[in-house]
Structure 1
Amino acid sequence: MTPAPFHEGIADSPPGAVAVWARAGAVRIRLAWWQGGAKGTVFLLPGRTECVEKYGRAAGDLIARGWSVITIDWRGQGLADRALPDPMAGHVGDFSEYQQDFDVMLAAARQAGLPEPWHILAHSMGGCIGLRGLMRGLPFRSAVFSAPMWGISMAAWLRPVAHVVSALAGPLRYAHRYAPTTGGESYILTAPFEGNVLTTDRGMWDYMAAQLHAVPGLALGGPSIAWLRAALRECAALAARPAPDLPVICAMGSREKVVDLAPVHLRMAHWPGGELDIYPGAEHEIMMEGPEVRRRFFDRAAALFEASRP
């Protein structure tokens, strides 16, 4: 591992962040951590398009409750290596690639001496990656999911042909094209706040947008057709397996429009020791909602982590 840049000013994070480059095979990824608490370590797994700076305030919320934090730029986003000539296209060929990144994250945490026990806090696509990690038996004692991507929400007209469209990822000339209804622009930088599907809080919306204005290289557009195919396959594969045996909270906003709700409700209905926690009026990004929602979310997460300590 070698030192990597971390934009503390736009992250609004606690002091003392350590950022490093690490290798997942031939791919360079970025990790950041804060050794801010001795209770244990929270592995904060971001969603698609996100970067470590976006979770600077979340790191502060967790550190204030006694936990150390480590987070990651998954391959293809943030400052990690991007696979395609078009850097705005989010792309992987298979979701097992993210598990390679996850393994590197665990190895880095061990090397840095981040305190145990370890817990997962995963948002959106990070929830898909985190669930697969738990099913692989990675050493976590509990998990909190925020709007996990266990299914992909898509327009009604696209659902019947989604798998046909994703099959176009086979021929190389189609695999790298943007998935239908998406393109090379950042949603946060182009969508108006009014009517957005991420947050109801203007301050947090401006916080996310300011990061991308300040460091344009952090921005990401839509996914490739290959990413869509890989995501559909991974969601289907996860749905076919039973829930891991560990305590879990799954937080969802009542106005969720980004991930498919049905697989989340089905999974949580059959998760022993699992709880589905609905936030009235909240959108997709619960950690980017207003102060009251965020306080409730991090209090509940910290209580679960505390209860799961040896």
Structure 2
Amino acid sequence: MSQSAFPTAPFYADLALGPEGGEAFWLTTSDGLRIRAGVWPVGEKGTVLLFPGRTEYVEKYGLAAADLQARGYATVAIDWRGQGLADRMLPDRMMGHVTRFQEYQLDVQAVLELARGLGLPEPYYLLSHSMGGAIALRSLMRGIPVKAASFSAPMWGIAMAAWMRPFAQPIAQMSGWFGQAHRFAPSTTGKSYVLEAEFGGNVLTTDPEMWRYMKRQVTARPELALAGPSMGWLHAALVECRDMALAPAPDMPALTALGTSEKVVDTGPVYLRMAGWRNGRLELFQGAEHEVPMETPAHRGRFYDLTAALFDQHR
């Protein structure tokens, strides 16, 4: 299949700061939604399928693509349904929403078809962050054709106050029964965290330059931004985390990176999962916040070195 089979999509290279030759394409999922994928096609060792977190978008991973290309890997990143320039799921564009997490697997299938259609170098590998880590784990359980997987702060549980845990899923489920699934989840708003928060005290990164990189992107292109999730998304996420916790770890070489200052995802399920992952290991990053791949240069370098070393071992 030729490149012409995939319509080109807007791509903000000046904001992404990725390798030369990056571009984006529109993809149509099997349920008829239009999503976007960004491609940096040069890499003699293979291609990394990069699964971003909630609120994220292709351009945010331009520097990641540069780090991966420097280590020999091409990259394809995705705007999940409901975020970035992909079709938004609700009239309020700032609200993240899905009915079931399995819907994201339709996006995964579309990206695989793009990678094959463009003839991106094989083998394929998986790198994911936060919500993308939940989607990636489900993809591995479904047999996605990759050789190894690297996770950053995977969302295998959602951080919340201990007293809320017994009530969170029933309340989120009841919101659907009473027509409230399209309301913002508790403690979230209709404003972008990166646009509203100050660097001091943020929960994403301790690196001021990476903070400016993220803020500059959504300031210049506010259409990329996303705010809080819906009650429906929260229910779907809680159900997915519960169901996957009951399943054994995939038979796949895996690395998970976790900052010791993590405040966004629930770390308990991460420790538990990796303790039982036969050919997986957990690497802690001292003092790092949620976004280890967008942390200080030392943390970033270590993360991409470990990831590339894992991928290199499984060619």
User: What band does the TM-score fall into relative to the shorter chain?
Assistant: over 0.9
Structure 2 distance, partners of 1:93, 1:164, is 15
Tell me which amino acid in the other structure corresponds to 1:127. G
| Residue of structure 2 equivalent to 1:29 | 35
Long gaps (5+) in structure 1: none
Which whole-Å deviations, capped at 9, do the CAs of 1:84-105 have from their partners, x for residues lacking one? 1100000000001100000100
| Residue of structure 2 equivalent to 1:246 | 252
| Residue of structure 2 equivalent to 1:13 | 18
Q: In structure 2, which of residues 103, 106, 113 is the aligned counterpart of residue 97 of structure 1?
A: 103
Note if 1:140 corresponds to 2:146: yes
The alpha-carbon deviation at position 172 of structure 1 amounts to 6.2
Tell me which amino acid in the other structure corresponds to 1:258. V
The alpha-carbon deviation at position 175 of structure 1 amounts to 0.6
Structure 2 distance, partners of 1:167, 1:184, is 21
Note if 1:305 corresponds to 2:315: no
| Residue of structure 2 equivalent to 1:296 | 302
The alpha-carbon deviation at position 146 of structure 1 amounts to 0.2
**SS of aligned partner of 1:250:** strand
Tell me which amino acid in the other structure corresponds to 2:252. L
| Residue of structure 2 equivalent to 1:53 | 59
The alpha-carbon deviation at position 224 of structure 1 amounts to 0.2
Note if 1:224 corresponds to 2:230: yes
Identity of aligned residues (%): 57
Aligned residue runs from structure 1 range 16-165, under 5 A: 16-24=21-29, 25-165=31-171
| Residue of structure 2 equivalent to 1:178 | 184
**SS of aligned partner of 2:125:** strand
Which whole-Å deviations, capped at 9, do the CAs of 1:182-229 have from their partners, x for residues lacking one? 010001111111111100001100100000000000010000000000
| Residue of structure 1 equivalent to 2:285 | 279
Q: In structure 2, which of residues 186, 196, 200 is the aligned counterpart of residue 194 of structure 1?
A: 200
Note if 1:4 corresponds to 2:9: yes
Tell me which amino acid in the other structure corresponds to 1:210. R
Structure 2 distance, partners of 1:180, 1:300, is 36
| Residue of structure 1 equivalent to 2:217 | 211
| Residue of structure 1 equivalent to 2:269 | 263
Structure 2 distance, partners of 1:185, 1:125, is 19
Runs of 4+ displaced beyond 6 Å: none
Structure 2 distance, partners of 1:16, 1:258, is 34
The alpha-carbon deviation at position 2 of structure 1 amounts to 0.7
In 2, are the aligned partners of 1:168 and 1:225 still within 8 Å (CA)? no
Change (3 A) 1:36 1:181: same
Structure 1 distance, partners of 2:132, 2:209, is 24
**SS of aligned partner of 2:88:** coil
RMSD: 0.9
The alpha-carbon deviation at position 167 of structure 1 amounts to 1.4
Structure 2 distance, partners of 1:79, 1:241, is 33
Decide which moves more: 282-291 or 153-162.
153-162
Structure 2 distance, partners of 1:47, 1:302, is 20
Structure 1 distance, partners of 2:16, 2:103, is 27
Tell me which amino acid in the other structure corresponds to 1:50. E
Structure 1 distance, partners of 2:117, 2:306, is 29
Decide which moves more: 167-176 or 235-244.
167-176
Structure 2 distance, partners of 1:181, 1:208, is 22
